[in-house]
Structure 1
Amino acid sequence: MTRVARWGWVITLVTLTGVAGVLAFVLTIGTTSERGFFERHYHWLYWVNVAVAAVLTLVILTAAVRLVVRVRSGRFGSRLLLKLAGIFALVGVVPGVMIYAVSYQFVNRSIETWFDVRLASALEAGLNLGRGTLDAMVADLGVKTRDAAEQLAEGGTTPQLLALERLRDKLGARTIALVGGRGQILMESGGDTRQLAPDRPSDTMLARARGGSPASQLEGLEDEAAALQGNAQIRALALLPSTELRLGLGERYLMVIQSVPASMLANALAVQTANSEYQQRSLERVGLRRMYLGTLTLVLILALFAALLLAVTLGNQLARPLLMLADGMRLVAQGDLSVRPALATRDELGGLTRSFADMTGQLSDARAQVSRTVVELDAARTHLQTILDNLTAGVLVFDADGHIETVNPGATRTLRLPLSAYVGRPLADVPGLEAFASQLDQRFEQHLGSRDPTERDMDRELWQDSFELQLDPKQDPLTLLVRGAPLPQGARLVVFDDISEVVSAQRSAAWSEVARRLAHEIKNPLTPIQLSAERMQHKLEAKLEGTDQAMLVRSVATIVNQVQAMKQLVNEFRDYARLPSAQLKPLDLNALIHEVLSLYAEPQEKGRLAADLAPGLPNIRGDASQLRQVIHNLVQNAMDAVQERADGRVVVRSSLSLTETGAPRSVRLHIIDNGPGFAEKVLKRAFEPYVTTKSKGTGLGLAVVKKIADEHGARISLRNLHAAPDAGSPPDAAPDAAVIGAQVSLSFSNLAPVTEPGATGAKT
């Protein structure tokens, strides 16, 4: 604010204060003085008007000149200021002149008409109308409260806060509460911010409501000032009917508190005040006409000049924050969310500029927060996608229509089908998964149909089941452990794992138990059978001749040979079931291989068996006797596989796997042959007991190997070798090509420390 403007305000305020004091004095004296007061002091009231007019004229002219100069200089907002000043001037001057003319005629000619019987009757009727309106509102709220109580009782359960909130919105009440039998507040919705809890209903209202009829009353009219500030209210209380036979539940009431509309209350109080003043003025009408005519001119002059001055001043004050807001909005529209200046005034426009500055700061903070949230959301989405991509389990998410929404690589690896190409389509569209899709739908329907919707236990939200899928007729079916869960908005989540190896391990455990029982039950009678047959031959051979003697010898030989075969079978089962725990010690794998291959001197001399051992392998921790049996079984199986081929050949190879830093990771053993390979159905179950491709085999050799490998923490794998389609492709790159052999691999990651003593065997 400039210095001239400050001086203008000081002069204006001083003038207005003086005039207001004079008017207050005149009005005070005029209402209590004797007749003829204004006639005796009319001359000095006239000169007061002249002085006030001169001062205000000077101030108005100064403000007008400054405004004209501002408009001519083309300053931003000057036209808006001029428009506001003109509007305020018209609003102040025109009504003032009209009011003066009408008031003069009214005071001069019609003041006596104020005090007649019709006016008194009208004021009395207005009072009665106000009372009747308030009484009707009280009765109407009582009826609505009773209806609301009956509506709450129809629910059959204890009303909840959400139900009270909805009922409060429906009734348009300020407060709605559930009240106990002694008037205590059990639950409330809404309320007056000036009170922590609504007042308890009076005993009189409780007694009336307990009788079955709603009780309602008007409160807060004792103090008119407090009533105008919002303390006037209508309180209604109705008994809440109880339809439940539950112990411990006493009487409950529904209490509704509704604020009396401020306009209606103000009008009623105004009519009451006017009636009181009318009664008082009717007694003081003498000298009233002269008092009004004497002060009306002074008020008119003050109003006209004050209106003009305030038009310019308020126009400037209004234009300043509006111009600040306009400039700030223009910058915000351009994307500039920097801190904006704000006015320190306490009026609404100053508050508007502060709110706009706060809003701009909040927008800036929100934009920064959104940017951070977007970054965090992208990171979380990337993190979640990374987790899904690296999960070994398959994950499928279906939308509400049953279409595939999300597929992770684990699902593609497990099912070996391009599921990603079917996103947005039903699972039944994937070739080979029609039955699986139908089974999933049935399992979800069964789960959703049997679930109690009121229970939120996570164990009841999920279901788990196992399914078998026959994706390829040439291969064994997949055994999947599937978990399903319903998601919001009708979506569904399916997570599955391939548990075929787990089932295979369970079969191995079952076969171990069968082998133990078989060895116990069969081996005991075999020796008596053999001895009895030999004893029969010893006793009867000398007594028989010819064909009878030959038949006896053949029969006994057959019994003995079969008993020996049975003993060998039982011993193999016993060894499989009672495989001793591995005694892990440092040993040289190459030395152990040489020791076993020394038993196959003839095949090595003929070139059917060869060793390709990597030198300098680190020692592994293992049981020499058990690993010797592993190597022997694998070499013997490979030799059996190539025995019918003239060019059959078996290679025993060892190698070392290194980490990225060059440190030893594992020692590997490979037994490779060029035999016919394994059937596809046998590949997955080759390590299970009683699974064999030999006509005379027991199927326990690879099962024992698998069991020993597990004892050593080694990883064993079995695969067929295929002919490459061209010279540039690796031998196993074409699974549909012709089989040219098989390979069994063992990977030992349990390496012995370099300084650990006790290693067996010599380095080769």
Structure 2
Amino acid sequence: MDAVTTPMTAEAARKRWFSVTPAIEFGVLGIAVAIALLTWFIVAGRNESEQLLTPPLVALLLVANLLACGSLIVLIGRRMARKRAAAAALGGGALHVRLVAIFSLLACVPTVLLAVIASLLFQYGAEFWFSARTQGMLENSQKLAQESYAQLLSYVDNENVAMANDVNIMLFDRRWEPQSIDFQTTFAQDVYQRSLSNSVLFSVRPNGELQAIAMVKNSDRNPMQDVPADEIRKLKGGTAQSVVGMTAARTYSIARVAGTDYLLYSTREGDAKEMVSRMDRVRAVFTDYQSLLNRTRALQLQFNIALLVISLLVIGIVVFIALRVADRLVRPVNELVAAARGVAEGDLGVRVPEPKTQDEVGVLAGAFNRMTERLQISTNALVTANAESESRRALIEAVMSGVTAGVVSIDADRNVRLLNASAMAMLRQGDVTGKPLAEIAPELAALLDGPEREAVVQVSPGGDPRTLAVKITRDDEGQVLTFDDITQQLLDQRRAAWSDVARRIAHEIKNPLTPIQLAAERLQRRYGKKIDAEDGTFARLTDTIIRQVGDLRRIVDEFSSFARMPKPLFRRESLLDIARQSMFLHEVAHPTIRFEMDTPDPAPNLVCDRRQIGQALTNVVKNAVEAIEGRGEGEALPRGEIVLTILDGEEGRVMLTVADNGVGLPVERDRIVEPYMTTRSRGTGLGLAIVKKIVEEHCGTIGFTDRPGGGTIVTICFDTDALANMVTADSDTADSADARPAALTRGNKS
């Protein structure tokens, strides 16, 4: 069987993504650790500390570490955003997380690019400065400085040695004394010609003191003060012809004067200071360069590590700022969402704090507060109006439910807008609001097409004919129909009219009947034997008169019974006894019809007038017998049968049904209980009218329905609770009834 797949909802997708997030975080952490270890192995695997790693390799390692660690920082920031959003009242935090992700992405991309560019620039710059060409340039510069230094020393030394030779010539060849003017003059000229600053011819006493023999100086300072004693000892103790040196102030040379114990000390000032400074600078630069050259890779790694740390710090700061900014952006949005949910739940008093800054969020918050305030005012007005409308509607419904007239309100499309309980009862309908009137009561809908404002119509809801007096009120929105059920009123009017007619007819006819009957009987007794001796014609005529007078008297008695029924005497009677006696009389008279009774055990008693209820049942059974006889004769017809059933219903009801298989109900079935309404040639039309009157006086109802298979079912229902309160004070109890009623000889289910 194929699996049924259902689309994943947004909430389920979000939960599934959040459940996968820890795995992603641990995966990124593992990748970051693996990249860090790989970087360490690559760097530690190169032993030449003075050799730089290639820029592409360093850039690749930097990007890999930066992406891994940056992604981990972003995921940590995302988790913090989720926790903050989950701690909020709304929860979820999709917008919060999305803002943090966007800010982080915007920060990571330029940071990575900047780090890569800076790393490459540094790598290629370092390659240039630590290249062999640069090293050669620095070495050549150092050699050049050293050569300049040596040349200066050599020049001063050579000139001083030459002067020592000149002194030797002046002392031994020319035999000038050192104190002579010729010696002093020639000595001074020789110093100036050789571009020397100072020159002293001196000797060293045994005690180590220096004794100047001849001196040339360019300042007030005595040059003897600057003669280095260690250089003199070095010269005295060695075989060198001269010693040369340089201080911060001067370049000096001490030379032996051949053939004497004299020493010649000469100096050159000015160039020495600059030369010493240059040499110190060159020496310091070269030393620093050598130190850097030995730490080339360490510096490369330090720079890239610092660049990585700074980049990660920038990403972390940006993520933190993104969290703060997201909080500030999302908080008013969450407040608006919470307020909107409150409004959706019916809380129109909710308001959102308006920020001090009049930006878009502040404008939105103000607009939302104004909207909810207006909604609250409008809703309160609507609630008040609805309450008033509901109060008026309740009053109208109370009034409409209390009136007996039916009221139906329809709209312009003739659809029902409102109908009261009386209308539902008269039309046998439930709540039909919104349905067309033509489907509910087409007779009433037909009246709307005419100009009449009032009319009397016949309706048959549920097969029960009713006469309604209808009044129509029209307006712009629709129409209102009010109607009363005048069926009983018309029946009562006809009954009252027929009762008055019956009373008058009975009075007018009954008076001459007795004299006519007495006269006919007297004529028959007195003259019957004399006149009717031969053919008996006189006897037949007088018998006819007497018989017809009897028929007229019976008719007059029925008129009298209908016109003025005697007041019933209510007693507790055995309903089974009354029913058996009524059935027994007709059973004896009509042996071809099968009579049957179906009664409960025990059969219920009924508070009633025994004579009137017996008369009513007798008339009903008599009509059933006549209906069976009215079928005609034929072999195909089933045997006539009459079944009387007693039912002890619930809620204080007792029902009697008389079912027959006769000709059935006539077409004008709604008029069969009206006086003088009959379908039989010899009927008076008063039997069922009398039955209905008796049943109504006993708080009951009578109904007529078609029997399945043919025939009629007459149903009589009594309200036993109402009859229980009508027992006559001096009446006998049910014990006075015949305890052994006549039993039916054919068919009994009691």
Decide which structure has the larger Cα Rg and report it: 2
Smaller-chain TM-score bracket: 0.3 to 0.5
TM-score, normalization by structure 2? 0.43
TM-score, normalization by structure 1? 0.42
